[in-house]
Structure 1
Amino acid sequence: MDVSQGEMRDFNVSNKATEEEQEDPEGGSKHRFMMNAKKTFENASLLLRRKIPCTGHLMTPRRLWIQTVPTQECDVVLMFPPGAQDFTLMWLLSRLRAGTPGLVVHVRHHASSDSYGFYLTAPFSVLTKAAEEVHLPKTLKSDYGGGLKEFVQQEATYFEGVENESGFFSTQERQWLVLHLLQTLRAGSADQLGGLRLIEGQAIVPKCLSAGIISQVFPLHDMPALENLQKNWVRAFFQKQPLDAICEYFGVKITMYFAWLGHYTAALIVPAVVGFIFWVR
């Protein structure tokens, strides 16, 4: 029977350990204990090395979350899954800048999750062009009849508040317009991303979302407006709901929902009081 060198070496070590145990039983027990402890620590170390990369975002120190600074000048975030290839990021970045001129893209790496994100916004001139494409209704000045009218760049001076570039579009409108710019990014005849097949004229971002190349696309909160709502709405228990502010931030559907909840809660006050009186009696 053939015996390999590794088996012979293990056999010699085993015999040597047995001889040491016979000479010193207490020393043999210590040797076995040390070997078992070493093996246990090695297995634990291997397990930690495998698990920590998967749960690193859960182990981020709390002080890092407390000291975070809200992102400025960003309307929509485009996130990639962990481990996204540099080629994919560079290709999509070049297509965003070439296919949507004027779109501002900031690339950031999140160390806790090992993922990249594109932080997107657009200057006022690009937003006005997108507003005309989507026929966004805006309020006319009283000199021109007032009311709502679809925005037109050539008639921009007719609209109320157009002089204030930072406040002419609401947060919701800015995010909608930037998302529209993303949707207009189309594939060319020679565009191909790895194994993903892109048809000419196909929307790139929705296709990448369905294929898992892009993990998610979402808007960012406007922290000052959110804090104002928290102060005047969430924590103001005995005040009327600021429906106009809610509509401006969350939209008409959310506003109608909370308006109905407020009406329904107020309508239940009388039955609740009557029922409490009967219950006490």
Structure 2
Amino acid sequence: MNTQYPTNTTTAPATAIVTGGASGLGAATVRRLVDTGHHVVALDLESSIDRARAEGTALEPVTYLAADVTDPAQVRAGVEAACAIAPLRVVVACAGILYSERILHRGGHHDLEGFARAISVNLNGTFNILTLAAEAMAAQEPVTEDGERGVIVLTSSVAAFEGQIGQAAYAASKGGVNALTLTAARDLARSGIRVNAIAPGVVETPMMAQITPEFRQELEARVPFPARLARPGEFAALVGTFLDNHYLNGEVVRLDGALRMPPR
């Protein structure tokens, strides 16, 4: 049975949900949405939220909720919490994992559980928040003369286009996000919900802090211009563009400085 989400149509500020909101791309997006007047509910693993609080990067106005994006009950609880604050108008799905393994290697063949885990988090988890959030948005009154009720932004990757050696699982999961974007935009059009995706290249996230200076220089040299890693704030700025331009729908936009990934 479908949950009956609140349909608050007052002038209260809009609510936004960001999955993976405690670090990296998600944290930058949370900051951007707070700055534009949204109340943000950040869903992330409890360990990630605890780390953000310990490091002092958690933002005071934000509601942080522990949730695994692959768990429908936990994600539904996050959606209900957001709707109880104010109408849910924005969802940005940033939660994801990396997985690297060659299809054939010295130890044998690609682990099926590893492949399934990447699909579960990156694709199934994205679909989980997409569907539950869309259900809530569709129950609310439109906020534009065109009948728009909400905007959903998914996170893909340049690996969906140019998967490198060892990225079979990751590339397949992000390719699924690409395929989902237009279909979801068409499915949800009658509900006044726009769906777009961002496909980042190499981004300066906490994960990149672990690489050697030499490897970082190699990555930056591959980017035509500007020859550096993307900044999380640039991802968040593109989210803002999707929110502001109401004719952007069903698009996967690369954010990569004209990078095209080589085989390895």
TM norm structure 1: 0.24
More strand by share: 2
Higher helix share: 1
Point out which structure has higher relative CO (alpha carbons under 8 A, 6+ apart).
2
Larger Rg: 1
